[in-house]
Structure 1
Amino acid sequence: MPDFDSDGVRIAYSDEGSGDPILLIHGFASNVAANWVDPGWVRTLRDAGCRVIAYDNRGHGRSEKLYDPECYGAPSMAQDARRLLDHLGIARADVMGYSMGARIAAFLVFNHPERVRSVIFGGLGINMVRGMVGSGPLAHALEAPRIGDVTNDTARSFRLFAESTKSDLKAMAACMRGPRERVTKEQLQTIAVPCLVAVGMEDVIGGSAAQLAALIPGAQTLEIVGRDHMKAVGDSHFKQGVLKFLTQVP
């Protein structure tokens, strides 16, 4: 993967295909390969005629590892996305984020609406507004010397996932301890681009897709039947819904 300098932070990215650009922003402790390549997203979107751009968030994958929690605010991470578009000379793109990536995508829309043609919030519904509780125990789980020391089931699942993606656990703990800027109903009401909210119906981490979509003018809802937060990522219904949505974007 090539990389570029995002205001002093090295960010690794991929750029495949041609056509209308779509920028993919992955979730916590994931990376381009785990979130977008292995589940078939890059291939699906490329075959549909898109130029598919994806990057490893700061602290993740092949991007630079940072250990100061203050470096991981969603607005700062959204600036990495904006600078990547600048680096590639792309004025405007469709944007799809999953989980943490959906939060980052939201702040990209809030702060740079002129750069976003449409936005897809995947794996994050109404909990984008309500916020995630218990980040302290999750950070402790990532900092534990051994996974056997983690007894909380939710915290253990985060640690297992981070290990499966070969993440830098110290960087992931810093990310988890980072700022938690609120997303307000008033901010969501300012979104003026086409929006799709796609969440698994069994996803207790993301929360209701319909409840979030109701706060965004004209937003569409895609409820992924029988899928939780992890299993929704590569779901074929999710892919079909996104492709249909993209064909409707002016």
Structure 2
Amino acid sequence: MKRLDVGDARIAYTDEGEGDAVLLLHGSFTADWFTPAGRRLAAGHRVLNVRRAGYGGSEDLAGGASVAAHADHAARVLEDAGVRRAHLVGHSSGAAVALQLASTRPDMAATLVLLDAAFPYAPDEPKHPAMPHAVEAAAEGDYERAFDVFLGGVGGPGFREVFVRELGADGLREAVAGSRYFFTVEGPALRAWDFGRTQAAAVTAPVLLAVGGEGERLGTAYRARAAQLASWLPDSQTRVVPGAGHALPLEDPASVAAMVEEFAGGRRG
């Protein structure tokens, strides 16, 4: 594990494998969303797996890292590793960080693979009935119930078993503990993020928008958000991952790794 002091945060990251660089930007709750897929990708790529501020031992020293700050931390990791350009892979809130980085530092982005991008909102998206209950539980200080309601709502009832299978019981406990940071710090920062058609126009890299096929059955907004992003990003394509919910990097890490390899192939970092 490497550690980098960036002023407003202390960032940990792993650097494994050789070849074109892939930068992994995980979603909320845990820094290990991409750990299983990252191991597979490292067989043919140099994989930088960032543990974003607030998660997995990386410290948010400012106490309220914005999406722009997370993107700056990612850029600093690339610079620290001596990587000028990488394939950016982001899941959920990490997809927002990848978009921010690609729009402000297009020179650093060879491609983007965005899995169930959590933001920005789409005007026609469905309103998920579980979300107000998760926010209510967090406001009452019951972060474990907030975790269960949120991820059960977007990932389906078996999500805890998926965490344990891929990350072990300790990995699940760490994700539950990360619920506090998500609901009190990261969630508000994401809602305050300003990203629209103007910012998207600065993205020059090809983009793959991947969405879990179970999302529509569960009533999530990720398909609508991907459609809005696609309308702003002319060099983009959308792919539905059959049978997957919002926990898709852990539900099927082999397919996620293969998807990244396929999309990045022929587009050198």
TM-score by length of 2: 0.77
Q: Which has the higher contact order (CA 8 A, sep 6+)?
A: 2
**2:240 aligned with 1:223:** yes
Q: Which residue does 1:194 correspond to in 2?
A: 206
Q: Is the 8 A contact 2:113 2:208 kept in 1?
A: yes
Say which is worse superposed, 145-154 or 18-27, in terms of deviation: 145-154
Q: Secondary structure at the match of 1:53?
A: strand
From 73, 81, 86, the equivalent of 1:80 is 73
Amino acid at match of 2:84: A
- Distance in 1 between residues matched to 2:266 and 2:89, nearest whole Å: 15
- Distance in 2 between residues matched to 1:24 and 1:199, nearest whole Å: 17
Q: Which residue does 2:169 correspond to in 1?
A: none
Residue deviations 1:154-174, cap 9 Å, x none? 38769x888552534543322
Shift of 1:128: 2.7
Report which of the two has the higher share of helix. 2
Q: Is the 8 A contact 1:139 1:174 kept in 2?
A: no
Q: Is the 8 A contact 2:21 2:86 kept in 1?
A: yes
- Distance in 2 between residues matched to 1:107 and 1:84, nearest whole Å: 15
Shift of 1:231: 3.6
- Distance in 1 between residues matched to 2:50 and 2:68, nearest whole Å: 16
Q: Which residue does 2:138 correspond to in 1?
A: 142
Alignment map for 1:1-250 (pairs within 5 Å): 1-31=1-31, 34-37=32-35, 40-47=36-43, 49-66=44-61, 68=63, 71-124=64-117, 127-130=119-122, 138=134, 140-142=136-138, 144-146=140-142, 153-154=149-150, 163=173, 165-172=175-182, 173-178=184-189, 180-203=192-215, 204-208=220-224, 209-231=226-248, 233-235=250-252, 236-250=254-268
Residue deviations 1:129-167, cap 9 Å, x none? 438989886555335444587699438769x88855253
Q: 1:66 to 1:217 in 2, by over 3 A?
A: same
Amino acid at match of 2:213: M
Q: Secondary structure at the match of 1:226?
A: coil
Shift of 1:61: 1.0
Residue identity over aligned pairs, in percent, reads 25
Shift of 1:83: 0.7
TM-score by length of 1: 0.82
- Distance in 2 between residues matched to 1:122 and 1:150, nearest whole Å: 22
- Distance in 2 between residues matched to 1:65 and 1:98, nearest whole Å: 20
Residue deviations 1:190-245, cap 9 Å, x none? 32112111111222142343443232122122211121112454424433222111
Q: 1:144 to 1:108 in 2, by over 3 A?
A: same
Amino acid at match of 2:83: I
Q: Is the 8 A contact 2:9 2:62 kept in 1?
A: no
Q: 1:147 to 1:82 in 2, by over 3 A?
A: closer
Unaligned regions of 5+ residues in structure 2, if any?
155-159, 164-171
* Paired residue total: 241
Q: 1:41 to 1:105 in 2, by over 3 A?
A: same
- Distance in 2 between residues matched to 1:44 and 1:151, nearest whole Å: 28
Q: Secondary structure at the match of 2:181?
A: helix
Q: Is the 8 A contact 2:134 2:149 kept in 1?
A: no
CA RMSD of aligned residues (A): 3.1
